[in-house]
Structure 1
Amino acid sequence: MPDLQDEPFSPEIVSGEIVYRGAVWDVRSDRFRYGDGEIVRQYVDHTGAVAVVAVDDDGRVLLIQQYRHPIRHRDWELPAGLLDIEGEEPLLAAQRELAEEADITAEHWEPLVSTYTTPGGNSEIIHLFLATGISPAATVHDRTDEEADIRVEWVPLGEVADAVMAGRMRNAILSIGVLAAERRGVGGA
């Protein structure tokens, strides 16, 4: 299949409602026509997000560790955040999140990959960017809640990819970003 790709599809929505309005995202219930009948599905209606694979001149990737209550872990992640500012382009959001979560900036930016996180349960698409030419940000950010005790580490890209493949790191966005960067040959991989 030379043009292997996902295909957009827009079934007729018979009815839809927000069944839970959240502080960050909502839960919707939609009834739609599909095939010879109708289906009802509930899902998280998500704003979308960005994440950053920041790689320094030594081929190390920036990881942050923070507590995530739903999984009861302090997992390793890439700097990331929501597309929650009206009209903000994903690249600008990624640049903002890198500065806010890790107090660094990058000179060079390029799209790495975009992915739907859980297409059977939410509408979130996350755009991952590769950032190089790293330097300290002009401002150090105050952090609260789960971000208050973020741990920051620079780890060789290959070691992170090995940890992902061995099942020691399970964050999906980290996995996708690191493996995509390694596949591109980033950091001497």
Structure 2
Amino acid sequence: MSIRTLSSREVYRNPWLRLREDEIERSNGARGIYGVVDKEDCAVILPLEGDTVYLIEQFRYTIQQRALELPQGGWESADVDPEELARGELREETGLIADSMTYLGMLWIAYGFTRQKQHVYLATGLTPAGTDPDPEEHDLVLQTATVAEFEQMLLDGTIQDACTVAAWGLYKLWKEKQASAVAAQ
């Protein structure tokens, strides 16, 4: 291990996150402070039906603007089944339920400062069932785009959410592997 923790103290806590400050020593003997945000696991969901991608637009306080992204979020509790979480977030934010949830992988959201895993799911066989947003999600707007429109939004900067971009990358790799497996048969 190249960094050793000498001490750790919690600086702040709320229902969504914990902030700690760790006194560290690097392998070269240099000491320092490392700030870490601890958050529970979350999920990002790619709702895809035929050529239609379902997206959420919402105001993101940290950047003070509305953002377009795939549905995503967490439940602020440990030991939640990732698929249950993904199904719940899909329903809360889009009002859709999925016949099939395909696990595409796990990502660390921003491990330079936060310890939070994000599970990536492809949701298909979508059926409207009514939304159930959290109070903080009162301003969510459901939008749809064709795959070509969605990819153009990724390229032209309309969509700047790293989790959405990464989820699409995992999906494209998964889809390519599926096509290769079929071709090999």
**The two structures share one fold, judged by TM-score above 0.5:** yes
Residue 94 of structure 2 corresponds to 102
Residue 141 of structure 1 corresponds to 132
Residue 6 of structure 1 corresponds to none
- Alpha-carbon contact 1:61-1:154 (below 8 Å) kept: yes
Q: Any runs of at least 4 consecutive aligned residues in structure 1 with deviations exceeding 3 A, and if so which?
A: 9-12, 182-186
- Alpha-carbon contact 1:52-1:129 (below 8 Å) kept: yes
- Residue type matched to 1:171 in 2? D
Where in structure 1 are there 5+ consecutive unaligned residues? 1-8
- Residue type matched to 2:37 in 1? V
- Alpha-carbon contact 2:93-2:131 (below 8 Å) kept: no
Residue-by-residue CA offset, 1:81-136 (whole Å, 9 max, x unaligned):
11423321111100111111111111111111321121111112211111111112
Q: Offset at 1:73? A: 1.2
Aligned match of 2:17 in 20, 25, 30?
25
Distance, in Å, in 2 between the alignment partners of 1:33 and 1:142 is 44
Distance, in Å, in 1 between the alignment partners of 2:36 and 2:78 is 22
Matched, 1:48 2:41: yes
Distance, in Å, in 2 between the alignment partners of 1:118 and 1:142 is 25
Matched, 1:177 2:142: no
- Alpha-carbon contact 2:40-2:77 (below 8 Å) kept: no
- Residue type matched to 2:135 in 1? T
- Alpha-carbon contact 2:47-2:126 (below 8 Å) kept: yes
- Alpha-carbon contact 1:83-1:90 (below 8 Å) kept: no
Aligned match of 1:39 in 32, 36, 39?
32
Where in structure 2 are there 5+ consecutive unaligned residues? 180-185
Q: Offset at 1:11? A: 4.5
Distance, in Å, in 1 between the alignment partners of 2:34 and 2:146 is 42
- SS state of the match for residue 37, structure 2? strand
Aligned match of 2:149 in 143, 152, 159?
159
Distance, in Å, in 2 between the alignment partners of 1:142 and 1:183 is 31
Identity over the aligned pairs, expressed in percent? 24
Distance, in Å, in 1 between the alignment partners of 2:142 and 2:74 is 20
Distance, in Å, in 2 between the alignment partners of 1:55 and 1:156 is 9
**Quick one: structure 1 residues 148 and 78, their matched pair in 2 at CA, closer, same or farther if it must change by over 3 Å?**
same
Q: Offset at 1:68? A: 0.5
Q: How many residues align?
A: 176
- Alpha-carbon contact 2:59-2:66 (below 8 Å) kept: yes
> What RMSD over aligned residues (CA atoms) do the two structures have, in Å?
2.1
Distance, in Å, in 2 between the alignment partners of 1:164 and 1:130 is 18
Distance, in Å, in 1 between the alignment partners of 2:133 and 2:111 is 34
Calculate the TM-score normalised by the size of structure 2: 0.85
